[in-house]
Structure 1
Amino acid sequence: MSHRYEPKGPVGHFVHRLEENVIAILLGVMTILTFVNVILRYVFQSSLIWGLELTLALFAWLVLLGVSHAVKINAHLGVDAIINLLPPAARKVLALIAGALCIFYAALLMKGAWDYWAPFAGLKQTGGRWFPTGFIETRDRAFYVTEQIPMPGFLSWMGNVFNEGEPYEKLPRMIPYLALPLGVALLLFRLLQAVWMIWTGQRESLIVSHEAEDAVEDVRHMNREG
């Protein structure tokens, strides 16, 4: 049976609940926005013109935060039919190799995510094709805004900081696009954490393994009883 994440200490419990609550709030807001837009369109022949764009931005945040959270709680699915035929020591070696490859891929993603987002925040991209070799001059795109999402009043200070004193008419793209480097950074951290747990024997693999089969069987059993 694979490891299930158990938060340790008050800080661990707080961070774990915070992550879950943020993901739940994102999903809830997306659902409410979509529902309200459907009612407005088919009942009142109107709509929130910015609703679809905001829903897409929230979905990006939900997916990217959810990927790293799923690594932490060991919820990613995988195929281990052949791996389970091997002795425990061999399974651990393969799990470490898989984890190292995932970390390498996440590091590449991190560079790409930063280089994509940085210009929209008025920051510099990194040099180098595969790995950062320093920072290079980049065309400032901090003035780019979303198509329809309105600018909240409490973020009006961003115009002075990022847009040379000019107020933003719409939400700057740096905010929804921040999901990319933030989500990948969290993914990289969770993969490093997971590999360390495999190395120290606190976890068996990066995937949920047979717990997924158990969950499916539980649902099937409940449906039969219903």
Structure 2
Amino acid sequence: MKLLDHLEEYFIAVLMAAATLITFTAVVHRYLSGIDIPVIQDALIKINMSWAQELTIYLFVWMAKFGAAYGVRSGIHVGVDVLVNRLSEKNKKVFILMSLGAGAIFTGVVGTLGANFVWGMAHTDQTSSDLEMPMWIVYLAIPLGSYLMSFRFMQVAWHYVRTGDLPKHDHSHVEGLDVEEAVEAAQEGALQPKTAAGDKL
């Protein structure tokens, strides 16, 4: 599972980095192409960057599908649990497992419908307008992302049955920053303001 987790994270990071780099390059290209510098302008105009917007859109589609699966695993999806939290522990567990099961079934159905759609499209000559890439490759994000999301729902459900814990995203956590140490340092006076002479107040 750790290998799959890391592959998922790296894949999303690569997609995000590629989309950012392509967008930045396209914007710089468009800006410099408009500046009247004879040699540079002529060279840049010869470079065709019309495909950049289309590729960026496809990268974001793939990122969204796999990011949704990551969201299930890490508990960052928004959920309304006001009524569920008012139930007894036994009923609460039943409702949580029902919702996770419904998520797994729904995304599994979407994945299957997407796979049938991609299979049918793979037998056509349909390509994208700018990249001229086979469209079945673009739409492959639907079954792959949906099946991964369905698997993540089942994984969370199995973990909940075994431990009683659900994944929760800590919005106050910042990677590389230990908030507790900063608070302790502030309480000990290490971060107290100083006077102009350099003495502590």
Q: TM-score range by the shorter chain?
A: 0.7 to 0.9
Partner of 1:145: 127
Partner of 2:137: 175
1:36-69 deviation per Cα after TM superposition (whole angstroms, max 9, x unaligned): 1111112214561100110011011000011112
1:67-105 deviation per Cα after TM superposition (whole angstroms, max 9, x unaligned): 112112222221223322333222211101111221221
- Is the 8 Å Cα contact of residues 104 and 150 (structure 2) preserved in structure 1? yes
The answer on 1:39 being equivalent to 2:28 is yes
Once the 2 structures are TM-superposed, how far is the Cα of residue 26 of structure 1 from its aligned partner? 0.3
Structure 1: unaligned runs, 5 residues or longer? 1-11, 123-140, 150-169
Normalising by structure 1, we get a TM-score of 0.65
The number of equivalent residue pairs is: 167
Match of 1:192 among 154, 164, 176: 154
Higher strand share: 1
Once the 2 structures are TM-superposed, how far is the Cα of residue 108 of structure 1 from its aligned partner? 2.2
Partner of 2:67: 66
Q: Distance in 2 between matches of 1:23 and 1:103?
A: 21
Structure 1 window deviating more from structure 2 (15-24 vs 43-52): it is 43-52
Q: Secondary structure at the match of 1:94?
A: helix
- More contact order relative to length (CA 8 Å, sep ≥ 6): 1
Superposition pairs for residues 47-66 of structure 1, below 5 Å? 48-66=49-67
Structure 2: unaligned runs, 5 residues or longer? 35-44, 183-190, 192-201
Partner of 2:168: 208
What letter corresponds to residue 93 of structure 1 in structure 2?
V
When Rg is computed on C-alpha atoms for both structures, the one with the higher figure is 2
Once the 2 structures are TM-superposed, how far is the Cα of residue 184 of structure 1 from its aligned partner? 0.8
- Is the 8 Å Cα contact of residues 113 and 180 (structure 1) preserved in structure 2? yes
Give every structure 1 segment of 4 or more consecutive aligned residues whose post-TM-superposition deviation is greater than 3 Å.
Answer: none
- Is the 8 Å Cα contact of residues 115 and 140 (structure 2) preserved in structure 1? no
The alignment's C-alpha RMSD in Å is: 2.6
Higher helix share: 2
Normalising by structure 2, we get a TM-score of 0.73
Q: Secondary structure at the match of 2:70?
A: helix
Superposition pairs for residues 65-84 of structure 1, below 5 Å? 65-84=66-85
